[in-house]
Amino acid sequence: MNEEAQQWINRYVDAYLIVTRQISARIKERIPEGVTNDQFLILRLIKAQKLCTATYLAEAVSVGKSSITAIINRLDEAGMIERTRDENDRRLVYLSLTEQGEEVYQLAEKQVQDVISPYLFHFEEEDIEKFITLFEKLAFIMQDPGTGGSNE
């Protein structure tokens, strides 16, 4: 790896660590009590997916099914999600937000917007769009098992 690439990686990692720690800490302070950042992420993914399964969630956040099951169980026990079996294939279980889950999600989403939006106003609109587009591209590349990422 050349020196320039190494400097890019170092700059990326330094900025990534600062931004993610700061944003995560600020979000954690603001989202409803008793809801973790991971639980909020799961609520957000369930909300966005019409027929959401535990398998989809595990793949979306790159964790094992046992980790997802633990989060789902806590959300279910808290009355924020419900499970529904597929009528044609009883092995399939779909997850959806309950009314309480929807309320918690909406409140948390508002708080996340309030945390992030002040930082965006330090940039020109075209820079924000370019940054988000590039960041989404990176996320897409990282989700594709056929690209980079592995050291095999």
% of residues, the chain, pLDDT over 70: 95
- 144 pLDDT exceeds 80? no
Is residue 150 pLDDT above 60, yes or no? no
Range of the domain at 117: 31-143
Looking at the domain assignment, is residue 19 inside a domain? no
Averaged pLDDT for residues 118-128: 93
Q: Give the pLDDT of residue 149.
A: 56
Residue 79 in tokens: 């009355």
pLDDT over threshold 90, residue 76: yes
Q: What is the pLDDT of residue 140?
A: 86
Helix-strand-coil split of the chain, %, nearest 5: 65, 5, 25
* Residue 68 pLDDT exceeds 60: yes
* Tokens standing for residue 33: 């009590």
Indicate the number of domains in the chain: 1
CATH number at residue 105: 1.10.10.10
Q: What is the pLDDT of residue 83?
A: 96
Alpha-carbon distance of 96 to 86, in angstroms, equals 13
